[in-house]
Amino acid sequence: MTKYIGLLLFLIPFSLLAQDEDAERRIGSSEDARFRATFLLGMNAAQIDGDDLAGFNKVGLNVGGQVNIVLDRNDWVGRFQPSVGIAFSQKGSRPNNNDPSGLQSQRFSLSYAQIPVMINYVDHRLMFSAGFAYGQLVNSKFIDNNGIDVSESASENYNKADVSFIGGATFYATNNIGLNINWERSLTTVNNIGWQVNRLISFKVAYTF
């Protein structure tokens, strides 16, 4: 029975695509619009490479929006849609039960305002995206291995600017509502005292106008 359920779940997206082969022309509320605005709301599962903690255990908010530019609706070029957006993203790291006992109190919390610039490829109800984001650190908090909040003294060590690579995909269940998943990794270091970079997976609901 399990294998039949798995097969059904696998076939559902393809069934939806077959029902509406021109869905990529109509994502959003207006067929003739040259711009598509999308609101995004979801969560991050984040970690920091190089901090001796394993796993995407830091949960944070990810909220923002983007505007896609529809280049040409009557040509294959129209499937490629550049976009620019703005987002608030909470990153960082925290330990899990498998990390060393001496690190169980350590916490990194980093909040960024980001401007992602992406290129998107629309194929029916799927949209694949890749690009870069510039981020500005707006808040930071660090709890050391002894459980002491040393945010104030440590704040001067954090780099205020962050540049990240982003890749992901969005599946539109309707013309307006989609489910988005992104993978993101910083190309710049978190601080100036060691090699530590942000990495995360985000899960968001997208609403396109």
Q: List the chain domain ranges.
A: 2-208
User: Which positions of the chain have pLDDT values less than 50?
Assistant: 1-25
Q: Is residue 209 within 8 Å of residue 175, measured between CB atoms? A: no
pTM: 0.81
pLDDT reported for residue 29: 58
Burial 85-114 (b: 16+ CB within 10 A, else e): bebebbbbbbbeeebeeeeeebbbbbbbbb
Per-residue pLDDT tens over the stretch 54-94:
789 899 999 999 999 988 766 677 789 999 999 999 999 88
User: Does the domain formed by 2-208 have CATH 3.40.30.10?
Assistant: no
